[in-house]
Chain A
C-alpha cells in the first residue's frame, strides 16, 4: 500500500525539470503568432460588430459575460484591433519569457474569446491550445530559457500541471481513436483515402496520386496504423515506448501536414509532445 501511495505521489508531485515548461512556453508563443497573426485582415468580419460572429459577442455583452471575460466589451473594429495587438504581444512575451504569468493569461483569454465570439472560426488546434493552456497557467513558465530574472523557487515546482497536460493529450487521442473505430470507413480501411480526397484541404493537386493503386494501398495501411497509434497512445507513459510512440506521432502528423492544409493542427499537436519530452541532465544548473 505504501508503495502505491508513493508511486501516486511521485506521479503527480515529482520535481519538474524547468526546461520542459520553458519549451512549452516558447512553443505556445510561436504557435500563437503562427496560428493567429493571419487573422488581422479578417477582424472586420471575424470578430467585430457587423461581421459573421455568432457567439455572445454578436448578441451584445451582458454582465455575466463581462465578468467571465472582459474582452466581451470590445466590439467595434478599432477596439478589436487594439485587443488583437495586445493579444499578439502576449505571444511575443511568451517567446521571450517576460512578464510573469500575465502573458500566458492574456494569450489564453484571447483564445477563449475567439471561440466564444465566433465559434464558426475555431478548429481542433484552437481546442488543444485552450485546454492545455489552462494547465500552462500553473507551470513555472519562465524558470528557464527566459529573459526574466531566475526564479529562486524553480526547483520546488512539481509535475502536476504537466501531468494534466499529458493526460489530456492521451484523452484526445484515445477519444478520437474510439470514435473513428465506430465508422465504416475506418473499419474498411478507406478513411485516410477519403480524407485525402477532399480537395478543399489539398496543399497541391492530388488527382493523379489518388488514382495510383500504390498510394491507395498506402492509405489503407495508414488508416489502420492511425487507429492503432491513437488507441495505443497511453503507451507513451511506458518509458521504453515513449520515444517510439512520439516518433510514430511525428511521422503521422508530418505526413498529414505534407498533404493537407488543416490549419495549425499538426503543428499544435506536435507542440503538445513537448510535455512528454525528457531532457538529458543539464551539465550546469538551469538559469
Chain B
C-alpha cells in the first residue's frame, strides 16, 4: 500500500503506528503475563486488529509436567485407550507433522477434577469408539521428573507419576 505523500500524512501515519506498537509493548509487558494494557482503550484496539498476543513459550520449564489418558470402559469390561496419550511410546516420535490434539491434552494437563473442559472432553470421548462404551474417563498423569543434578548422579533416576481422575461420564444414550 502506498504511503501518504504529504509530510503531515506521513507524520500522522508513523505516529499512529508508533502508538499502536506502544500498546502492543504494554500489553505484553512482563508483569506476570496479565495480558492487559494500561493505555485506555488499548485492549479494544488490539482486539479489533487481532493483535492481542502472549509470548511466554517455555518461560518456566521445570521438572513437573503431565499427560492425559483418554479411557473408555466397554460393555464386556475392557478398558480401551480411545486417543493416544502424548507421552512415549505414543508421543510424536519421528513425526514431521504436528498432532494438534497435543494442544488439547496440554490444556487438560492444567485442569482440575470436574472442570468443564474435562467433562466436555469426556463426553466427546464417548463418541470415539466403534464399540459401545459404558463410560469414559479422562485421567491426568502428573509427572515429576528427576532434576538435572539427580539425572547426572543417577542416569536411571525415575520419573514419579501421580494419576488424577479429571472426569468420568456415562456413555449411555
- Could you tell me the distance between the alpha carbons of A252 and B55 in the complex, rounded to whole angstroms? 17
Some 11 contacts from A to B, beta carbons below 8 A apart, are: A8-B14, A13-B14, A51-B124, A171-B55, A180-B58, A191-B60, A197-B151, A203-B94, A205-B93, A261-B95, A265-B57
Check if B94 sits within 8 Å of A183, measured CB to CB: no
Contact of B59 among A160, A179, A202 (CB under 8 A): A179
| A9 with B65, Cβ < 8 A, contacts A51-B124, A54-B117, A205-B93 known | no
| A197 with B10, Cβ < 8 A, contacts A52-B120, A120-B104, A138-B1 known | no
Check if A134 sits within 8 Å of B13, measured CB to CB: no
Check if A182 sits within 8 Å of B30, measured CB to CB: yes
Check if A261 sits within 8 Å of B152, measured CB to CB: no
Check if B103 sits within 8 Å of A200, measured CB to CB: no
Closest Cβ of chain A: how far from B76's Cβ, in Å?
26
For the complex, would chain A's binding face be called helix, strand, loop or mixed by DSSP majority?
helix
Closest Cβ of chain B: how far from A265's Cβ, in Å?
7
- Could you tell me the distance between the alpha carbons of A175 and B151 in the complex, rounded to whole angstroms? 31
A259 contacts the other chain (Cβ, under 8 Å)?
A: no
- Could you tell me the distance between the alpha carbons of A175 and B56 in the complex, rounded to whole angstroms? 8
Check if B28 sits within 8 Å of A175, measured CB to CB: yes
For the complex, would chain B's binding face be called helix, strand, loop or mixed by DSSP majority?
loop
**Which residues of chain A (160-216) have a CB below 8 Å from chain B?**
160-161, 163-164, 167-168, 171-172, 175-176, 178-180, 182-183, 185, 190-195, 197-205, 207-208, 210-211, 213, 216
B77 contacts the other chain (Cβ, under 8 Å)?
A: no
Check if A199 sits within 8 Å of B120, measured CB to CB: no
Q: Which residue of B lies closest to A68 (CB)?
A: B48
Binding stretch for chain A, among B36-44, B83-91, B129-137, B161-169: B83-91
Contact of B98 among A35, A131, A168, A207 (CB under 8 A): A35
B63 contacts the other chain (Cβ, under 8 Å)?
A: yes
Check if B103 sits within 8 Å of A122, measured CB to CB: yes
Of the candidates B29, B50, B103, B107, the one having the most CB atoms from chain A within 10 angstroms of its own CB is B50
A-B contact count (CB 8 A): 166
Closest Cβ of chain A: how far from B99's Cβ, in Å?
8
Closest Cβ of chain B: how far from A192's Cβ, in Å?
8
Contact of A200 among B10, B21, B55, B91 (CB under 8 A): B91
Check if A42 sits within 8 Å of B60, measured CB to CB: no
Check if B121 sits within 8 Å of A264, measured CB to CB: no
Q: Interface on B for A, CB 8 Å cutoff?
A: 1-3, 7, 10, 13-14, 17, 20-21, 24-25, 28-30, 33, 49-51, 53-63, 65, 67, 86-88, 91-95, 97-98, 100-105, 107, 117, 120-121, 124, 127, 145, 147-148, 151-152, 155
Of the candidates B57, B86, B147, the one having the most CB atoms from chain A within 10 angstroms of its own CB is B57
Which chain A positions have C-beta within 8 A of B120? 52, 54
- Could you tell me the distance between the alpha carbons of A191 and B57 in the complex, rounded to whole angstroms? 12
Which chain B positions have C-beta within 8 A of A153? 2
- Could you tell me the distance between the alpha carbons of A170 and B67 in the complex, rounded to whole angstroms? 33
A112 contacts the other chain (Cβ, under 8 Å)?
A: yes
| A12 with B13, Cβ < 8 A, contacts A179-B33, A205-B88 known | yes
Which chain B positions have C-beta within 8 A of A265? 57
Closest Cβ of chain B: how far from A69's Cβ, in Å?
10
Closest Cβ of chain A: how far from B16's Cβ, in Å?
10
**Which residues of chain A (1-37) have a CB below 8 Å from chain B?**
8-9, 12-13, 35
- Could you tell me the distance between the alpha carbons of A121 and B100 in the complex, rounded to whole angstroms? 6
Closest Cβ of chain B: how far from A204's Cβ, in Å?
6
| A200 with B100, Cβ < 8 A, contacts A164-B21, A179-B59, A193-B148 known | no
Which chain A positions have C-beta within 8 A of B104? 52, 120-121
Check if B25 sits within 8 Å of A42, measured CB to CB: no
Check if B102 sits within 8 Å of A157, measured CB to CB: no
